[in-house]
């Protein structure tokens, strides 16, 4: 039975993945990493700490601390979010549908709480969520299931009664590892890849999601 829905944030609620890439390409270039969009996609869904460690393991740097790189990326991203951040199509509609059906809703993101607060303020959606959780406070980030399991525990809901809505492969793995149902919304460039076939439901946009489809997932 569907009791709770957990939304990822970046790429699900807000069209922020391109902004993340701009910020990462800009700041990582200052430490000797010439990234492109394809390369940035390798760390989509990861916590900032894990993404920085990933690139540091590929080629280390000495001119800045990892903490400074993280801070600069976050600061750059927040500027971009304020200037260009927009809700993904269908966000308000599905939030209203869930609210009308008395389904509780959480937000669970790999982004820092500072970024999450900026996004929910920008989109004016904070009142929809019973729980807002940043995986930066978790021991393990996605694709580990800890963040989703923590949210379920906070909401006193069994994982099998939770639905996760995710766009990143790392987040999708985390959702299924948590034994939760999964609606996957992959980037359109990767939509037809077979690696997303484990989703309980795969969509091109939140606009395609309605309550009947959600109920069918749990039948």
Give me the count of residues in the chain: 219
ω before 211 within 30° of 0 (cis)? Answer: no
Q: Are 134 and 119 in contact (CB under 8 A)?
A: no
Inter-axis angle of helices 113-123 and 66-84, nearest 10: 0
Annotated catalytic residue 8: yes
Among the listed residues 8, 50, 167, 200, the single catalytic one is 8
How far is it, in rounded angstroms, from Cα 85 to Cα 99? 24
In the chain, which ranges are E strands? 4-7, 104-109, 131-134, 162-166, 181-184, 201-202
Q: Is 38 helix (H, G, I), strand (E, B) or coil?
A: helix
How far is it, in rounded angstroms, from Cα 145 to Cα 162? 13
Q: Is 188 helix (H, G, I), strand (E, B) or coil?
A: helix
Among the listed residues 10, 50, 167, 200, the single catalytic one is 10
Annotated catalytic residue 10: yes
Catalytic residue annotation:
8, 10
């Amino acid at each position: 039975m569907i009791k709770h829905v957990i939304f990822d944030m970046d790429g699900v609620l807000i069209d922020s993945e391109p902004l993340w890439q701009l910020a990462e390409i800009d700041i990582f270039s200052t430490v000797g990493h010439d990234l492109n969009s394809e390369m940035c996609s390798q760390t989509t869904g990861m916590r900032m700490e894990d993404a920085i460690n990933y690139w540091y393991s590929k080629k280390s740097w000495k001119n800045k601390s990892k903490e400074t790189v993280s801070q600069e990326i976050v600061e750059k991203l927040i500027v971009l979010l304020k200037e260009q951040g927009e809700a993904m199509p269908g966000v308000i509609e599905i939030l209203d549908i869930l609210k009308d059906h008395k389904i509780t809703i959480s937000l669970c993101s790999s982004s820092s709480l500072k970024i999450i607060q900026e996004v929910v303020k920008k989109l004016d959606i904070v009142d929809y969520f019973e729980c807002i959780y940043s995986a930066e406070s978790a021991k393990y980030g996605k694709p580990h299931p800890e963040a989703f399991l923590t949210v379920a525990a906070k909401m006193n809901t069994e994982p099998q009664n939770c639905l996760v809505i995710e766009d990143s492969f790392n987040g999708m793995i985390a959702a299924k590892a948590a034994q939760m149902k999964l609606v996957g919304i992959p980037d359109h460039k990767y939509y037809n890849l077979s690696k997303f076939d484990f989703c309980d439901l795969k969509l091109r946009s939140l606009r395609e999601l309605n309550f009947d489809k959600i109920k069918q997932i749990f039948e």
